[in-house]
Chain A
Amino acid sequence: MEHQRSLPVRLLLYAATLLALIFFIGPIVWFIELAIRPPESAFAVPPQFVFTPTLDAFRHILVDPGTNAPQLVNSIIVAGGTVLLNLPFSIPAAYALSRFRMRGKKNIMLWYLGLLMAPPVAFLIPYFVLVTRIGLSGTYLAMVLVLQTLTIPFSVWLMKSFIDEVPKELEEAARVDGAPWYVVMLRITLPIVRPGIIVTSLFAFVFAWNNAAFPLVLSARGTATLPIGTLGYFATAGVTWNYIAAAAVLAMLPPMIVFLVFDRYVVRGLTFGSVTG
């Protein structure tokens, strides 16, 4: 960085980095190994670090009998549907909050933020009763609707931070030519922030994908998402850890890919755009 560090200091820094790497990544590797190790070595004492890998657990959960395959599809439907439904609500709101002068802007933004920090469990019980009463029990629609309480505020905040970065001068030029506001929004601003909208959608997808509280209560056997389905293994006698790990690896992959590929937006995504790093 700013000055040349001495050798001992550098060695110390490397040691600390290595330690952090082992501590934070080790458990993930260990769990992925559980998914591909022979079942009899899952609880070997001392732990077995070397083994012949097998894809049996993945075959079991995805193909034969494919216990978790429908849940994987359900997770994609619920998270994907949630993001799609959220866009027509959050894009206009984010645009308005970024571009128009209006009273109460701060309070509206903070209200959205407050929703993101609300305890989900507090809403579970009423939703459970409501959904049963109106006949939406166990449907995708129930989960997709309820998840909007998370994805809309999240997307509005994150997208506003992207729209804020588009120079206002670009819009003013078009306005001088007499274009109405919606033409300016649709033809000029939104195409420029398209990458921002895509990044927002992917992080919102992860947000919905990782939510377990709502599907836990609102899904039925046929619509259970991957983590909820995986939870079911604990209810059966003789917990089959290889299957749990294989299903969990599937559940871990999409968020990991999004975070690694969009590394430069991670800080912004995790702080809802309030830290643009």
Chain B
Amino acid sequence: MPWLLPYLLIAPSIVLLLALIAYPLAFALRNSFYFWNLQMAPEPMGFIGLGNYRLALTSSSFLASLENTVLLTLGGTAIEFVLGLAIALVLSAQLAGMAPVRALLILPTTIAPIVVGFLFRYMYDPGAGIISWLLRSLAVPLPPQGLLGSQTTALASIMFADVWEWTPFFTIVLYAGLLSVPQQIIEAALLDRASDWTIFRRIKLPLVSRTALIVLMLRFMQLFNTFDLVLVLTHGGPGTSSRTLGYALYEQGLVQFNLGLASAMTWIIVLIVNALIALYIFFAFRDWEW
């Protein structure tokens, strides 16, 4: 049965993964229809139909976390892409001494997000953190509760830490893309007296667009699931000002132990993420060869 062979080779991994994801999804689906607080009872405490979904979708804190997540994801992805591309273009001039810089630049991306959280919590310290100190030295007015303690700056501070960690990711990948643009094309354009800007817009950008699409989408999804940074930096506060969907879910399920409500939130998030992944796959892998 030669046609069966490849499926047999793939089967163990699929079976293991299915077992690992089917249970949580089924668990969450069932319990999303029950009222259940783990601190009150070890088993679900009563069928309430769609009550948990209604509660989640009408709760201002859940909607706030949805809004924060969208802001963080769109803002973070956009800044990281533009800044990353700009640095990649600078480095692609390949002036003497730039090669080691490019190699070092990846370092922020290698650090665990939770550890990046430690780093920025130290630097954001309202009293003596170096970021607060620098901003004060530049006469930038800071909120008295500190950057992480103020409703207006908490989410932006999380985004800034994420931009620090992930901009190099875009730089490194787009740099590789830029270098693979054939030299002859650029030389031909130069002979035609094309400007640097024209070469960038008409030649380089279209040729790295496929790579760009893949990294943009990957990063978008990771940012949408942001959890570690919020956990270390703000616990979603003050109030709900920096709460993301991932953190809201964690808090509802594993701090408050409202398993029923958390399960409904899980399914709402799973549905949103699945829709995004489907879109992603449609656009990024449309013309892929398998």
A interface residues with partner B (beta carbon < 8 Å): 1-3, 5, 10, 13-14, 16-17, 20-21, 23-25, 27-28, 30-31, 34, 42-47, 88-90, 92-93, 95-97, 99-102, 105-106, 108-110, 112-115, 117-130, 145-146, 148-149, 152-153, 156, 181, 206, 209-213, 216-217, 227, 230-231, 234, 241, 244-245, 248, 251-252, 255-256, 258-260, 263, 266-267, 270-271, 274-275, 277
Contacts and interface: CB of A to CB of B under 8 A. Distances in A.
A93 B9 contact: yes
Contacts of A24: 105, 107-108, 164, 167-168
Given A121-B225, A267-B172, 8 more contacts: A43-B125, A100-B5, A101-B6, A108-B10, A212-B114, A244-B122, A260-B103, A260-B107
B285 A125 contact: no
A113 B112 CA distance: 21
A147 B16 CA distance: 12
B90 A13 contact: yes
B180 A277 contact: yes
Interface of B: 3, 5-7, 9-10, 12-14, 16-17, 20-21, 23-25, 27-28, 38, 87, 90-95, 97-98, 101, 103-115, 118-120, 122-123, 125, 127-128, 130, 133, 164, 167-169, 172-173, 176-177, 180, 183, 186-187, 190, 211, 214-215, 218, 221-222, 224-225, 227-228, 231-232, 245-247, 249-250, 253-254, 259, 262-263, 266, 269-270, 273-274, 277, 280-281, 285, 288, 290
A41 B24 CA distance: 47
Contacts of B103: 260, 263
B39 to A, nearest CB: 13
Nearest to B7: A102
Given A89-B13, A96-B10, A125-B266, A2 B186 contact: yes
Nearest to B214: A274
Contact of A117 (B91, B227, B273): B273
B186 A255 contact: no
Contacts of A96: 5-7, 9-10
A198 to B, nearest CB: 18
Nearest to B189: A2
Which A-B residue pairs are the 10 nearest by beta carbons? Answer: A277-B176, A126-B24, A100-B6, A210-B112, A96-B9, A43-B128, A125-B253, A96-B6, A117-B221, A212-B114
Nearest to A228: B114
Contacts of A30: 123, 130
Contacts of A255: 110-112
Nearest to B10: A93
Contacts of A114: 274, 277, 281
A2 B112 contact: no
A146 B250 contact: no
Contact of A92 (B10, B211, B247, B280): B10
